[in-house]
C-alpha cells in the first residue's frame, strides 16, 4: 500500500506488524530516542479541520524520527476552493515526501491520494479516522496483551471514529458492540465490511440501542462527542437524544470489572462522559492520546522508511 487511507485497506497481519513496530518505537524513544530513520524526509500536514492531537503528534513523530513536518492551514490552501485538489496534490508531491490531510469530505483525501505521487495519510475524514483507530488498538494491546477475544463496546454516534474502531477490532479479532440511538447508525457499508472482517478473524459484531446491555462483559468502553465538527447545526437535537448514552459511573459499573474507558478527545465533559469517569481509575484517555504519536510513527515508517 502506498497510502494510509483506511484501516480496511490493510490486512490483519499488516496491522499487527504496525502495532508491533509502534510498541518497539515507543520503547526505543523511552530508552533514549528513536533512530533517525526518516532523516531528510518531510511531511506536509494539510488541515481543513483544526486539531491538537493530530498536528502535534504528527509533527513530533517526524522530528523524533529525524524528519520534518510542514503545517498548512485552511487559509493557506483552501483545498478544492482556491485551488483544485488534483493541483494541490501534484504541487506538493514535488516538494515533500508524504502528505497528511485532515479534511471534512472523505472524497477529498481520496482525490489527494489519486493525484499525489507521494504517500497520503488520512488524518481524519467524515467517513473514518484510521490513525485514531490504530492508536486505539495500540492502547488495547498494551492493556490486555492482545485484541483477540477482547470485548470492545462503543457507545454513542456511529461516526468516523466508530468506523475505524470497528474495522481494527474486526481485523484483529476483538468482539465489537455498538450502542447508538435510532437514526445515528454507522454507515451500512462500513458495518457490513466490519462483519466480513469479523467472520474472517473469528470475532463478532453486535448492534444494539441499549447502552446498559451493550457494556455487559465489556473490557473496553469507548465514547466520542455527540456532535462532530461540521454538525454544529444539529447540536441541540443531538443533546436531546444522547443523554442516555453518557459514559458515567453507573454505565462503567455494568461492564467487566477490569474494563478500561477510551475517548478519542476532545471530550465534552458532562455530556458524553463525566469527570468522574474521565479522571477515574478506569480511564485510559491520556495514554490513548499519547499513543497517537507512537501509532503514527509506525505508519510513517511503513510508508517512508
Residues 6 or more apart whose CB falls under 8 angstroms from that of 90 comprise 115, 116, 117
Exposed, middle or buried: residue 81 (CB in 10 Å: 0-12, 13-18, 19+)?
exposed
Residue in 108, 167, 284, 292 annotated catalytic: 292
* Cα–Cα separations (whole angstroms), residue 118 to 12, 16, 55, 94: 24, 24, 20, 9
Q: Does the annotation mark 102 as catalytic? A: yes
Collapsed DSSP state (helix, strand, coil) of residue 179? strand
Asked if 131 and 4 touch (Cβ cutoff 8 Å), the reply is yes
Long-range contacts: 276-284, Cβ < 8 Å, 24+?
276/248, 276/249, 277/247, 277/248, 277/249, 277/252, 280/249, 280/252, 282/221, 282/252, 284/139, 284/143, 284/260
Q: Is 9 a catalytic residue?
A: no
Please identify which of the residues 16, 48, 64, 102 carries the catalytic annotation.
Answer: 102
Point out the catalytic residue in the list 48, 97, 238, 264.
264
Among candidate residues 224, 282, 288, 294, the one labeled active-site is: 224
CB atoms within 10 A of CB 74: 15
Give me the helices (H) in the chain, please: 12-30, 52-64, 74-77, 85-93, 106-115, 130-144, 160-172, 188-201, 211-214, 235-241, 249-253, 275-278, 285-304
Residue 224 designated active-site: yes
Q: Is 129 a catalytic residue?
A: yes
Comparing C-alpha atoms, which of 92, 125, 159 is closest to residue 5? 125
Catalytic residue (one of 53, 129, 282, 284): 129
- For cell 509533527, name the residue: 59
Instruction: Identify whether the C-beta of residue 142 lies closer than 8 Å to the C-beta of residue 170.
Output: no
Facing residues of 108 across strands? none
Question: Which region, left, alpha or beta, applies to residue 202 given φ > 0 means left and ψ of -120 to 50 means alpha?
Answer: left
Residues 132, 246, 271, 288: which is the catalytic one?
Answer: 132
Catalytic positions: 102, 129, 132, 224, 264, 292
Amino acid at each position: 500500500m502506498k497510502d494510509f487511507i483506511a484501516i480496511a485497506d490493510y490486512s490483519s497481519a499488516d496491522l499487527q506488524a504496525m502495532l508491533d513496530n509502534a510498541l518497539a518505537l515507543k520503547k526505543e524513544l523511552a530508552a533514549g530516542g528513536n533512530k533517525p530513520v526518516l532523516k531528510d524526509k518531510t511531511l506536509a500536514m494539510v488541515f481543513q479541520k483544526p486539531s491538537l492531537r493530530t498536528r502535534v503528534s504528527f509533527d513530533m513523530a517526524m522530528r523524533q524520527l529525524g524528519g520534518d513536518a510542514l503545517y498548512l492551514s485552511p487559509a493557506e490552501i483552501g483545498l478544492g476552493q482556491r485551488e483544485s485538489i488534483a493541483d494541490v496534490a501534484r504541487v506538493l508531491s514535488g516538494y515533500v515526501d508524504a502528505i497528511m490531510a485532515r479534511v471534512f469530505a472523505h472524497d477529498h483525501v481520496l482525490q489527494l491520494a489519486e493525484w499525489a505521487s507521494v504517500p497520503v495519510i488520512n488524518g481524519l475524514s467524515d467517513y473514518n479516522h484510521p490513525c485514531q483507530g490504530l492508536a486505539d488498538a495500540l492502547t488495547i494491546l498494551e492493556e490486555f496483551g492482545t485484541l483477540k477475544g477482547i470485548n470492545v463496546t462503543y457507545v454513542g454516534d456511529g461516526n468516523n471514529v466508530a468506523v475505524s474502531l470497528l474495522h481494527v477490532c474486526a481485523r484483529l479479532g476483538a468482539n465489537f458492540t455498538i450502542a447508538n440511538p435510532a437514526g445515528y447508525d454507522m454507515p451500512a457499508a462500513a458495518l457490513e465490511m466490519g462483519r466480513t472482517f469479523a467472520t474472517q478473524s473469528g470475532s463478532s459484531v453486535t448492534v444494539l440501542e441499549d447502552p446498559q446491555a451493550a457494556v455487559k462483559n465489556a473490557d473496553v468502553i469507548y465514547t466520542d462527542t455527540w456532535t462532530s465538527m461540521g454538525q454544529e447545526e444539529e447540536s441541540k437535537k443531538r443533546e436531546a437524544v444522547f443523554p442516555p448514552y453518557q459514559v458515567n459511573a453507573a454505565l462503567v459499573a455494568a461492564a467487566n470489572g477490569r474494563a478500561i474507558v477510551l475517548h478519542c478527545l476532545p471530550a465534552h465533559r458532562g455530556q458524553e462522559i463525566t469527570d468522574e469517569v474521565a479522571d477515574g481509575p478506569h480511564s485510559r484517555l491520556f495514554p490513548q492520546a499519547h499513543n497517537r504519536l507512537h501509532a503514527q510513527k509506525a505508519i510513517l515508517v511503513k510508508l517512508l522508511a
